[in-house]
Structure 1
Amino acid sequence: MKKRKTLLLPLARQFTVILILFTLCTVCITIYSTFGYSRLQTSFLNNSLESYSAQLAKSTREAYESYENICYSIAYSQVVQNYLMSENRGKSYENYRQLENQLSNTALLNPYIIDIAVYGQDSTFASLCGSASNYEEFSRSLSDSRFPYRSAGVATVNRTLCHVLAMPIYSLGTGESRYLGILFLAIDVNNLLGNSLKSDENDYDPRILFTDASGQLIYGEPQLYDALCREEDRSDVFQIQETSDNPVTYAVTGYSIPGIEHTLYVLIDKSQITRQVARISGRQLLVMCAITFLALLFLFLLYRPLIRSLKQLTDFMNTISSGDRRAMKEGAVIHQGLIGSKEISEISTAFNDMLIETEKLNHTIFDTYTRMYELENNNRKTEIAFLRSQINPHFLYNTLTMICGLAAEGMDDKIISVTGALSRIFRYSIKGSDMVTLEEEMSIVRSYLMIQKERFEDRFTVRYEFSEDSHDCLIPKMVIQPLVENAIVHGLEKSLEPGELLIGAGRNPEHGYLAIWIFDTGVGMPESRLTELRESIHRSVYNKTGDASADLEDLNSQNHESIGILNVNSRMVLYYGTDYTLLIDSEEGVGTNIQIRVPYRLKSDTNARAAQNTNSKGENHVPGNCD
């Protein structure tokens, strides 16, 4: 399964990203909700204004219907009939008093009635507060007595601009009805339309235009009416320039008033709706911004100490990683401020406890490792010394037997040579450094071969192949002689034909090791024997118990004929590890080839590194510093 790549970001940057995303989401939600609320508010205001306009038109219709009923009730009352038809002067005054009383009582029925006037055909006139001159012009314009209840026009009555309604008065009776005069009803249209549905809940101010059947403006602003009249198609929306820099757009709705054939126009200033919605939406946006700011401030106050505390803890960990043991002893001290995190405090305490336990464990591990290292080093030195001190008793027995034979024949010179070579071999094996140069090792091998040549005479020949850069390479002591002995005893000695022993060494610069090989043209070994020997070599490497005596006993019990090979292989592993072991290849009737590989290290390089380490230790040592 492919491992996912992790994007690592500092906590402060993550917090910044969270704040930005939170702010963006809040702003988007606020804007979206504000626009949604704006649309809802606009729809609500439009519906409210439409309802307002419809109710205004309804109330106006109902008002004028009531005025029509009032006109009928007065025009055809017995009091008015008596007044207009009376021919007796004395009786006329009494009828006038009754008429005046009726008109006064009728005017109380509606607060917008300013005056009620009766204008007779014979210039008889009676009214509440107006004069005959207020109605003379209307009387002349209504000379046709066949007109219905209608609007006469606009006039100023009792210092009030009034809408004058007119109705003809006819005589009542069984005979032919005759025309008696006109009833005039003066209405305070400004208060009628201005106070209609007036409420403190309305923050908007619709404009009202009221016109008669001929298109004459009865109520409203002439400028608005002129602008409305200029609209050829009478669009529902039109614009007017109230000031030089303030064009106002109006939505207009017209309502017909039946009975008098008047038209009521309700004009709604759309900019008022826009301002109203903008004001409400602005308040909402301001509240949302305030809430967002407080939320961000609260998050900042909570997370800033957390980030600061984590940075302090991280800096302390980096200080510990840099090797400052004094800081480890002092422990982590986190300053969280007024608002802190309980988890950070617990982490800091746990980390300090961990440092204390780690210090204790370090001392324990160091002491244990030191004892184990000393024990292993002693064990390794013991095993190496024991392996190196092993000398084949058959070699000693045969050499001593050969010396006795030479003494019997009186060959003193050869006895001296053989004895000297044998003493050199013994002295070399028990004294000196564990690591020697290849040239020093080969001098002992030549001494050993000189003894064997004296014993076997011309049974085999020896040939050497060494590269120039191999003589000064360091190798473990006594690793070539046991292999040469094994080649002579188990290879050349058992062969009936004269054989050859090839000893050589060469450097492999690509892999950095020195290869040493011993090849004999002896009897070789069958495949089964070669497999068994390789398994023994493998077991001698990977089945160690750590006990030198037990490992040596197990080594001796594995294969007595190849003890020299196993001995050398075990020492190679002890010196260099499992990367440098012994390789063996053999073919029955052809011969056996054994190769060992050691790291290519020159004696001069080793001496230089030792001197450098000695100087370095001397420079870095500070007396009295326990750390």
Structure 2
Amino acid sequence: MHILVRVKEKFHQMTVVKQMMIAITLIVFFSFTAITVFNYQRTIDIINRQQSDSNLEILDLKKNNYVSYMNQLEDYTMQLRYNDQIFNIINSGKPIDYSAYSTVSSLLRNTFLSRNDVVSYQFYLLKSKTCFSISSSDFNVRSFPFGSADEIYLYRQTYAAKGNYLTFRTEYGDGKKFLTICRLYINISNRRPLAFVKITVDDSFCRNLSSDSSGVQGILGIIDQDGKLAFSSDGNVLNTNSLPLVASALSGKNSKGSCSVQLSGEEYLAVFSDTEDGRWKLIRLLPQDVLRQPVVNTRNISLLLVLVAFIISAGVIYALIRAQLRPLQMLAKQMQNVGRGDFKTKVQGGGSAEVNNLAEQFNRMTEQIDELIQKNYVAELHEKIAQMKALEAQVDPHFLYNTLQTISTEAVLSGQKTIQRMVESLASLLRYSVREKDLVPVGTELKHVRQYLFLQTARFEDRLAYSIDADKALEEQMIPKISILSLVENSIKHGLENSCELISIAVQVRTSNDFLRITVTDNGKGMTEERLAEVRSMTELDNAEGSSIGLPNLAARLKILYDGRASLLISSTPGTGTRVDLMIPLSQKGGASCIDR
């Protein structure tokens, strides 16, 4: 905000030629820029739609190839089931002899070697409780016994799966594993499990599937029906950590389409398509920077042309404006004397009717300013000084001071200590009102408030009770002289003198935000709403009337000392009492601040 104010000030200090030059050139610049940005964004949208459509076609082809591949794997798991020799062995339940072992090992090895993407193949004979296993790290068929089917990993999940067929994602970070495919062979007649097949394949097919010859190298991702990442051609961008961001962007979308997603600090165009059975979702991520590169180059050329056109147009506009405003420049030179403060100087017009009219209006304005300075400013200054003197005069009983000194001496000689203390308190109050400055410390003010209340207690005896609560840290804060005393006097005058009841007066001094809050409360008879409104209106007057040191007087002093920044808040309830809050702004040094006088 401060910077904007400085810029505004600098702008107003410029000549009319420069102001108009800046205004017109900015309009031209922003117009060209807005058109360029609009065309750039519109082109980006068109490219995104085109890329989305073309990549959806590519992704559909990849999806079909992937579905075919998964169907091949599903058929592959059934090859041993359709072999009569194997079926007789798994269905007989007899112990595995040498002949059965050779048959199973041979067929298992041939089946395993028929594909290049199979990492491991495990064949569990449930009745014989024997497992045959072969892997790409060891092409020998191994066998080992097992206790029960429940010991086999993924057996129960496969048994409960639809069609007794289960695909399970396997960590593929080593580049050798992709999916574990489980198949349970069932006896059709009695629905009893006969054998369990567990095959693990690598991601070679998906790696080949992710390669692209379209010119934009994208990232291929495959998500299973459980929302888990089955494959990613770039694990640094699309992985299990970033998958929730992709899933959030795709939520609520159709089975195929495109959207924008932010991954690893880069924006991607995500093209996605679901398989017909809903078991797989293929995603292709295309970096927007690569897609937008041709448009960015065009945009940069356009901005360069805009800059050249802007410079040329700025020069032409500057020449035209300078020619039109040359008479005003001459007028500005003649007005320099007036700018130095000599309001007696008259400006000579010329050049055009507009300039002559401007010179005439300016001369009239300088005459009025000079007249206002003489009549209003000086007069107001004298009025403020006189007002301050008048306010001080209301509390200036200096002529009684010497007399009270004599009475105090006589009281001492007569042994009247109470009278002596009363006279000394009254003399101190009179000296305080005469000699102290406009601003005094809170501690000094409270000292004389206590002397004042002592005198009033001697007068009203048990009908007056009071308490003073002030933070010790605030005793050095500067406040107007006789401010708290005025509030206490007001409470006694309107709460005690017109009543026979006991009245309690409480004085509290605290800080509130950037203000010193002085609160004076009493339990007097209070004021009606009409009387309260009348008192509030009296405190809003510029001049305090009357001879008492009352609220209007204090409000007028606050306006003069603090230039309207201090406030006097009055609240009262009939039959309950009155509360007055004096809010005085604190200076940066911790004291109450006022204007220089």
Q: TM-score, normalised by structure 2?
A: 0.39
